[in-house]
Amino acid sequence: MKISRGINGLKGLGRFGAIGRVLARHGFGDIFERVLKGKKTDPEGETIPGEGFPSARRIRMAIEELGPSFIKLGQLMSTRADIFPPEYIAEFKKLQDMVPPVPFEEVKAVMERELKRPLLEVFAQFDEKPIAAASVGQVHIARLPTGEKVAVKIIRPGIERRIKEDLRLMYFLAARAEKSLELGRAIGATNIVREFERNIVRELDMMIEAGSIEKFARNFKEVKEIYIPAVHWDYTTRSVLVMEHIDGIKMDQVEEIRAAGIDPKEVALIGLRSFSRQLMLFGFFHADPHPGNTLVMYDGRVSLVDFGITGCLDEETMRQIANLFLGYAEHDYGLVMDALTDAGLISEEMDLKAFRNDLKDVSESFYGRSLQHISVKDVYDQMMELVLKYGIRLPRNLLLLFKTFIQTEALGKILGSDASILEVTRPFAKKLLQRELNARSALRHLDREGRALSGYARSIPKHINDILRQTASGRQRLELRHSGFDRAQAALEKGINRLTVGVIIAASIIAGAMVLNSGQKVIKLTFQFLGLQTVSLTAILGLAGYGVATLLGIWLIVSILKSGRL
């Protein structure tokens, strides 16, 4: 879905005016006017909560009135506790998809257009009343001609066009807010809208959700306690998803679960193990495990449904999270700090000693408690206070993970679980790290030194790249020094000298032979030796060449024999 990030002519002007009226009605008139003018303001001139700035409740009410797109944006903002204060997060979490269902005739028109057949040729039965309705889509129950019961999720007609218009306005307002308001720059308004666009585009494509279901089914194929519904691809399009209907009990209906002869505490353990597998083994997790999306089947298995919101973790992040969990489980704050540093969340520019002390103060009081005596939400809230205090920005996947963690903990509490989250996740974290070490033929035992070695191996290429980049920009200078080459240099020189002597020997022999064989006689000398003898100077020179070559040859052979390297 390509969005034009600006206001062109009169396009969208009516919607823009409606947004302005809503914001003015809820006390945003002055701020909205400054945003439209795009004038920079003094940060000290911007009001804060309690001093004239609209309260968190009024912001939430304005978002609700602005409609589905802005409600979805507010829901995203409720996960950004690293940006917004707790009172705003609490209000944003109250935002619900409070929208009436689409009339059946409109749903029928969408289905028949997408499937290119009359509705009753595709389904033997189709319930006109939806079992769930949200801002993006709604769900109906139907039966295939085979008699199989299915759940049919349909994208609301016209919602994509409406979201495109609202996104265009969101980008316009975000850019103006960042230009004119310190608050807009501080929260990164444009980045929030960009993240919202990425999320909503995925929710509008049923093929993406169907693919997520298939991926979960493959991941949990060998896990008997978890069941993933099947996708009926023949009836699934970009706007329609048809999947197996799951008969089960919502996870928060504890008495019904007991009445079915199922232990709620065991159900909670299944949920915790499922979450640990998703997090530590697969790197792909269901990011909205509320009671309506998590069903207890009558045979005791747990089924996950509605995969509209999922999260992904790469191998690096999975390893960092595993180290983080193990660090907490083993009270090893050095490992926790290493994991946070490795993830790029903290750096040496921070007051690391103060951060470590604050982190320890927050964490120590929660050790050893079961789900009934610990609140992941409390831990999360206190962690977010540290994040805000030290100006840490968390990546989206980690924030989504924290949200999922809190929802999983809430379900465990509802089911009366006395399990410890850290104890349940510990074996999966160890399995992940052991697998990584084995794959690299590194240390076979899972201890801190082995984990540190793996971390160093990963960080070295990055450090080298940083050094080379700084050198290229002139901020650093590389100075290369070598030592220990003196002996090698002496040996090389000796070899070259011997080679030179060998060449001289060969040249002397050749020159002497040529002179002796020459027919030219230069300066004949006569002397008395055993009679009168005549010798030419050329003959003397030739003999001298042979003599020099012989002496040099003998010296070369002796030196080679002495070196023992013949």
- Catalytic positions, written as ranges: 288
- The alpha-carbon radius of gyration of the chain (Å, integer) is 39
> For strand 137-143 and strand 149-155, is the pairing parallel, antiparallel, or unpaired?
antiparallel
Calpha distance 49→56 (Å, rounded): 8
> Is the separation of the CB atoms in 400 and 79 below 8 Å?
yes
The 8-class DSSP code of residue 504 comes to H
CB 335, CB 451: distance < 8 Å: yes
Nearest to 3, CA basis, from 233, 190, 166: 166
Pairwise CA distance, residues 70 & 58, whole Å? 14
With H, G, I as helix, E, B as strand and everything else as coil, classify residue 141.
Answer: strand
For 27, phi and psi rounded to 5 degrees? 90, 15
Q: Which amino acid is at 364?
A: E
Q: What is the DSSP letter of 282?
A: I
Distance CA(501)–CA(495), nearest Å, equals: 10
**504 vs 538: CA distance, rounded Å:** 19
Closest residue by Cα to residue 416 from 298, 267, 262: 267
**Eight-state DSSP code of residue 231:** B
What SS3 state is found at 52?
coil
Distance CA 407, CA 380 (A): 12
* Residue 510: Cβ within 10 Å count: 12
Strand ordering across the sheet containing 248-250:
226-227, 302-304, 294-297, 248-250
**Pair of tokens at residue 2:** 């390509």
Tokens at residue 238, please? Answer: 């970009």
List Cα–Cα distances, 335 to 281, 326, 359, 401, 451, in angstroms. 20, 8, 13, 20, 9
d(CA 267, CA 225) in angstroms, rounded, equals 9
